[in-house]
Amino acid sequence: MYVVFILWGGINVVHSQNRQILNRLARIKGHVEGIYEMVEAQRPNPDVILQIVAVRSALNKVALLVLVDYIEHRLIEAAETGDFETELSNFRWVLDLLI
């Protein structure tokens, strides 16, 4: 199964990590729903913030999985096909977004 997403410069496909990424995103979705319920229940702010930090950390891990998959597939393929400079530029743009 492949997931396609658009970046400036072209279409990129998430390959090998797809199932793991989707599983993590499903857990994050549930976690965010829990935070929503905490706010509705007027739980103490430090408790809510702790959960927000946990979700941010989980999203960073998902981003890393996507980035590693991009490196393993698209950058290597681009090096073999001669399109490396374009993909390296895309990679740098994405890395700037993450940092």
Question: According to the model, what pLDDT value does residue 8 have?
Answer: 46
Output the pTM of the full model.
Answer: 0.74
Beta strands in 1-99 (DSSP E): 3-7, 10-14
DSSP state at residue 83:
-
Digit-coded pLDDT (tens) for 16-74: 788 999 999 999 999 999 999 999 999 999 999 999 999 999 999 999 998 888 888 88
Question: According to the model, what pLDDT value does residue 82 have?
Answer: 87
Cα 82 from Cα 86, distance rounded (Å): 9
Contacts of 32 (CB under 8 A, 6+ apart): 55
CATH number at 3-98: 1.20.58.1000
Q: Where along the chain do its domains lie?
A: 3-98
**Which has more pLDDT, 4 or 84?**
84
As a whole number, mean pLDDT of residues 2-18 equals 55
Whether the pLDDT of residue 9 is over 70: the answer is: no
Question: According to the model, what pLDDT value does residue 13 have?
Answer: 53
